[in-house]
Chain A
């Protein structure tokens, strides 16, 4: 076991896989000598050289198109899109090309690409550098969607994503970069589509992802002081979605809450709410409640951003109000 920061875990996980597969290549802006804007790729250039750790021009379409073309023809790629907001600039490749090629060609091709990207709010960067856009990708058949909350999940889920034959969008949360956690020694490989119960409880299920996981956990601790025993689920991957873990938990607790950074409309929590309402309706003691950001572009000012993104306080109050 070694303690690693979330950001170091990214480079650690990538290095593990680049050592395993000598074909594996990285493409992205400022990822080589600069070590990445979030310092998530520090040291990789030295270990693997400029052929495999490639700085690209500021050309997001070309980064993802090149990643896809290479992956289709024998060279798997980890591509970095600096901020997840920039996926909008190259979304054709994500949504129309990578996601659909296997299906459209009747299974003739595989696109083993991992698109890594920095996601989420809390950095006061304003509306074009703070979004949580995992829901954009969740709604597109053909993509897998991953968003780890801890350093060991970063390493294990990166490995699983890289070894997956389908395109995976891997969301690294900006506000978790400095967080630390134990990462097992040796090769770490996790599994996509498996949620984790990160706190057991019997009174309510709180479903969270990425940066909302530590907030949900802190909220659960505070709720416990008031005698409410909340179970917290870290989804870890949105596609495949571990509906089983969610439904099992809700069957036990009879109440479901989702905590997401997505804006109100069509955030992933809505999908979970719909699944729970449909498949666990008779086990519920009350409505499924979503805790989200409002339907606004994210503001830069601290006071405003903090108000927008679900806080520990808001989770605690919402759960309490709804359990009364």
Chain B
């Protein structure tokens, strides 16, 4: 038997009658698996395209791929509404797409085009999509963690029911900003959902070697907020945990810390020879616990998806990415004539 997203809302009503404020999640991997599958495939294909363009010398600068971590971005963003806020990280393509960004405009940014989200001023590490509530990726580890607190403060003060999801890595949990952020968010009971994307490494440093206590979620207790460890490669599990946390935040119950255990298949960034981990470890995660394959396998097995639907979704994702890349390539380059514009209002 599967828990349904709507069951969680129902459960909320049982525990706190009338507390459910009626904001429906935008996607539901449990009851409408196709939309979440499409979303994860879109992220995977997008990043594979980025990787390929990079290796062919067609895309420059740097990028951090989240291939293997798609269930976290999708599981969390599925529970949000357009206009809810997210803050993201250097590894942010997945969050950005799952929160509604247009892949063509994103690709244009990576290809240094004037039609990109930031008109070429940002690049991979600084994509923001403010219209959709994405306050931006960040090149500073934990750099957006305190900003999320402010976005939540403004929503509390204005009196909206918007929530702020703050994505960060396992490495970021050892920055001072992490602690200042969680403390203040709880002191003011702000609508923040902290999502630690624990891919088990910060560059070459494994979480075992970097993290006293061994758990990020356990740190929630120190700040008096609920903390939960989630299988980050199970999009339904992420979704259910996120739904509860988002619901808590929306209804004034304050912040939650979710730690989603996942794994990145690719190197930290373009230059990484994986000297800090074994090939077997990478293959084990890739071949046995891939979030997309797991989700497909489960849904096909229990009849929620047919093989035809999966094949169609896969080719649709490939096709739409191909279109995004060619449209982005055709766009005009970032405009040097406006080099100094936007530094100030």
Contacts and interface: CB of A to CB of B under 8 A. Distances in A.
B143 A68 contact: no
Nearest to A66: B150
B128 A109 contact: yes
B258 interface: no
Contact of B147 (A59, A72, A75, A110): A72
A228 B344 CA distance: 41
Given A51-B157, A109-B135, A102 B342 contact: yes
Contact of B140 (A57, A62, A92): A92
Contact of A108 (B130, B158, B345): B130
A29 to B, nearest CB: 12
B135 A72 contact: yes
A25 interface: yes
Contacts of A103: 121, 342-343
A23 B157 CA distance: 9
Q: Which of A93, A107, A144 has the most CB of B within 10 A?
A: A107
Contact of A73 (B120, B138, B150, B177): B150
Interface string B124-161: 00101111000110111001111111111111011000
Contact of B121 (A70, A72, A106, A165): A106
Given A61-B177, A62-B184, A108 B118 contact: yes
Contacts of B187: 57
Interface in A58-101: 59, 61-62, 64-75, 77, 92-93, 96-97, 101
B183 interface: yes
Nearest to A62: B180
The size class of the interface chain A forms with chain B is 35 or more
A199 B120 CA distance: 47
A74 B152 CA distance: 11
A88 to B, nearest CB: 13
Contacts of A164: 345
A96 B147 CA distance: 12
A85 B87 CA distance: 29
B147 A68 contact: yes
A69 B149 contact: yes
A104 B341 CA distance: 11
Contacts of A287: none
Given A57-B183, A65-B145, A65-B181, A105 B344 contact: no
Contacts of A62: 146, 149, 177, 180-181, 183-184
B176 interface: yes
A66 B153 contact: yes
Interface residues of B, number: 47
A166 interface: yes
Contacts of A70: 150-151, 153-154, 157
A212 to B, nearest CB: 26
Interface string A97-133: 1000111111111100000000000000000000000
A239 to B, nearest CB: 9
Contact of A105 (B130, B164, B183): B130
A74 B135 CA distance: 13
Contacts of A135: none
Q: Which of A25, A61, A64, A166 has the most CB of B within 10 A?
A: A61
A51 to B, nearest CB: 7
B290 to A, nearest CB: 33
A267 interface: no
A286 interface: no
Contacts of A165: 345
Q: Which of B117, B148, B153 has the most CB of A within 10 A?
A: B153
Contacts of A104: 118, 121-122, 126, 128, 136
Interface string B90-114: 0000000000000000000000000
B46 interface: no
Nearest to B138: A97
B85 interface: yes
Contacts of A96: 139-140, 143
A144 B157 CA distance: 27
Interface in A11-27: 23, 25
A66 B158 contact: no
B118 A105 contact: yes
B116 interface: yes
Interface string B157-178: 1100000100000000000110
Contacts of B131: 108
A73 B156 CA distance: 11
Given A72-B147, A166-B344, A65 B121 contact: no
B286 interface: no
B119 interface: yes
B128 A105 contact: yes
A175 interface: no
Contacts of B121: 103-106
A103 B342 CA distance: 5
Contact of A92 (B143, B152, B158): B143
Interface of B: 85, 87, 116-122, 126, 128-131, 135-136, 138-140, 143-155, 157-158, 164, 176-177, 180-181, 183-184, 187, 341-345
Closest 5 interchain pairs by CB?
Answer: A65-B146, A69-B150, A106-B118, A106-B119, A62-B180
Given A65-B150, A74-B158, A75-B157, 11 more contacts: A59-B184, A68-B147, A70-B150, A72-B135, A75-B158, A96-B143, A97-B147, A101-B128, A101-B136, A107-B119, A107-B341
27 contacts: A23-B158, A51-B157, A57-B184, A61-B180, A66-B147, A66-B184, A69-B153, A69-B164, A71-B150, A72-B135, A73-B150, A73-B151, A92-B140, A92-B177, A93-B146, A97-B144, A101-B128, A104-B118, A104-B121, A104-B126, A106-B116, A106-B117, A106-B121, A108-B128, A108-B131, A142-B343, A164-B345
